Amino acid sequence: MVASGQDSGGAIDGNGGDPYALDAGDFDQLRERLGRARLRQRLNAQVYHVAGEAHQDAILLGLSRVLDIDVLADRFARLFGIYGRGYRNFTALRLVEHRLRHPRLPAGLEGLRVLHLSDLHLDLDPALGPALRDRLRGVDYDLAVITGDFRNTTDADHGPSVAETLALLEVLDKPAFAVLGNHDFIEIVPPLERAGLRFLLNEVVMIPFGGEMLYLAGVDDPHFYRTHDLAGVRDQIPDDGFSVLLCHSPETYREAAGHGYDVMLSGHTHGGQICLPGGIQLVRVCDAPQPMQAGAWRYHELAGYTSVGTGSCGVPLRYFCPPEVTLHRLTRG
């Protein structure tokens, strides 16, 4: 199933010499899938952001608007002699096996394994791509999902992250689906889809398994671009259909529960990334309660999981918050 939209309006030309540049036909397809209004909203936000007229999160009481927080973190780690430890943690990807329980799970979907990657930021450091590909070899799963943020910066060239993602797709041997995050421009969709990664732009796909049907839904970024459509996507799913929602940020948990989604998989928070002992976060980047910031959580009938991130953002450092590759196993309970 694909969300419908109006097929009218202009397109943006690709940059000359860019191997991932899009043509008018690519934008026509994106307009049809995301809808004319939401595509226009997203493209305008991208332009304003690059021009410095639309900002992402103002971290640390707004200091990030006037200070380079990433540079400060880098210098602090080097000054206190803990940079090497943090960098080793950055590539020490752990495999987290999680039983994702829900009482409404159809019997045929019991045991379905979902490989969950999030916040790859693959262009941050060249060591991450090979480390991730090595970690994934031998992991057995039925489908893979990526819950946004393929790029580290929010406004620079997305070509390097696309190239790294193409290399990642070569080791994903099962169907793979993704949603966009607040770091991602919509221009990454066509080249990655041509390589086999299916993006869900306020869309639903049906996954047959065990004689039953899983309704895999995905919404566009709710955090910065705010082009998500939880209500419209839920309307594409039968009332009795079992749904798994991919949403970059967990901040929409209340709305997702209200619309009757069964499971929600997210990322965005990085679990804090640079934490105090015990995983105590120093910085939060979204308005969600503490239980929704990392790991498994539940809100009414909605079972959720927020990945602490496969990659890292800003600096290739991790403290008391190891990066993860998550393997969910669906089960009744």
Mean pLDDT of 7-13: 36
User: In the predicted model, is pLDDT for residue 8 greater than 50?
Assistant: no
pLDDT tens string 68-87: 778 888 999 999 999 999 99
Residue 235's CB: how many other CB atoms inside 10 A? 12
Which tens digit of pLDDT belongs to each residue from 145-174?
A: 999 999 998 888 899 999 999 999 999 999
CATH number of 69-331: 3.60.21.10
Domain ranges of the chain: 69-331
Tell me which residue has tokens 């309704």. 215
% of the chain at pLDDT higher than 90: 81
Residue 17's Cβ-side half-sphere holds a number of Cα atoms within 13 Å equal to: 1
